Structure formats: structure tokens, C-alpha cells
């Protein structure tokens, strides 16, 4: 028979692993982020006007100009 504390401990360990995994993903994503501040509206308008699908496409579009 499994005790309540054993089940709680297993749930806590799973939750801790999931949090650590998410933290790793967030750190990896954070290394590629930039802050464009007040220019976000212009960024979105350019993205829509040029029919670009991703922020990466907008960045390449601007770099290629």
C-alpha cells in the first residue's frame, strides 16, 4: 500500500522536474530576445504591411535593406 506522503513526494518531484525543464527552455529563448521598446507598433505594422509571417522574417527584412 502506497502512503499519502509517498504520492505527494512523487508529485512534488515531477512538478520540480517540469519547472526545471521549463526554466531551461525559458533561458534558451531569452538568449535570442531583444527589446525594441516603443518601436513595437511600427514592427507589427511593417510585419503586416510586408506580409511577413514571423519576427525573424521582419528582422531579416530590415537587415537586408
Please check whether residues 1 and 29 belong to one and the same domain: yes
Q: Do 57 and 40 sit in the same domain of this protein?
A: yes
- Give pLDDT, residue 49: 98
* Same domain as 43, residue 28: no
Q: Do 28 and 42 have their domain in common?
A: no
Same domain, 47 and 63: yes
Tell me which residue range forms the domain holding 62. 36-65
User: What is the model's pLDDT at position 36?
Assistant: 93
Identify whether residues 29 and 40 lie together within a single domain. Answer: no
Looking at the structure, do residues 42 and 17 belong to the same domain, yes or no? no
**Could you list the pLDDT tens digit for every one of the 65 residues in the chain?**
567 787 777 888 888 888 888 888 888 888 888 899 999 999 999 999 999 999 999 999 999 99
Do 24 and 48 lie in a common domain?
no
User: What is the C-alpha separation between 4 and 50, in angstroms, rounded?
Assistant: 58
pLDDT at 1: 57
Amino acid at each position: 500500500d502506497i502512503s499519502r506522503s509517498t504520492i505527494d513526494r512523487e508529485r512534488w518531484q515531477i512538478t520540480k522536474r517540469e519547472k526545471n525543464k521549463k526554466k531551461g527552455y525559458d533561458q534558451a529563448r531569452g538568449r535570442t530576445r531583444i527589446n525594441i521598446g516603443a518601436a513595437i507598433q511600427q514592427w507589427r505594422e511593417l510585419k503586416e504591411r510586408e506580409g511577413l509571417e514571423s519576427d525573424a522574417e521582419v528582422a531579416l527584412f530590415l537587415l537586408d535593406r
